[in-house]
């Protein structure tokens, strides 16, 4: 549903989820979908087209999470001080 290009596609996907026999078995899931459906202007790409995101559909939380992951994983390879960098080269 997030990547639906038009409002019609988004509505069809929502109806399919609501009418799906498997999802009907999970009451909490349906409530969860309904809760987020009310806030679709915040997350649906078709509703966010008129904002000035320049085609970037991410947020600061995602960017910060990736940066932390990179810092932890690649910490030993990322020289933070020039002195360390020079020691690595020599």
pTM beyond 0.85, yes or no: no
Longest dimension (CA), the chain: 66
Residue 89 confidence (pLDDT): 73
The per-residue pLDDT string of the chain (90 residues; one tens digit each, 9 = 90 and over) reads 888 888 999 999 999 999 999 999 999 999 999 999 999 888 888 876 555 556 666 667 777 777 877 777 766 555 566 666 667 777
Cα(30)–Cα(46) distance, rounded to whole angstroms? 22
Residue 31 confidence (pLDDT): 94
């Amino acid at each position: 549903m997030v990547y639906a290009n038009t409002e019609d596609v988004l509505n069809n996907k929502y109806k399919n989820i609501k009418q799906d026999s498997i999802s009907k078995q999970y009451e909490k899931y349906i409530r969860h979908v309904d809760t987020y459906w009310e806030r679709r202007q915040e997350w649906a790409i078709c509703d966010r087209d008129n904002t000035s995101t320049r085609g970037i559909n991410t947020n600061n939380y995602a960017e910060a999470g990736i940066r932390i992951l990179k810092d932890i994983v690649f910490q030993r390879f990322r020289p933070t001080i020039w002195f360390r960098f020079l020691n690595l080269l020599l």
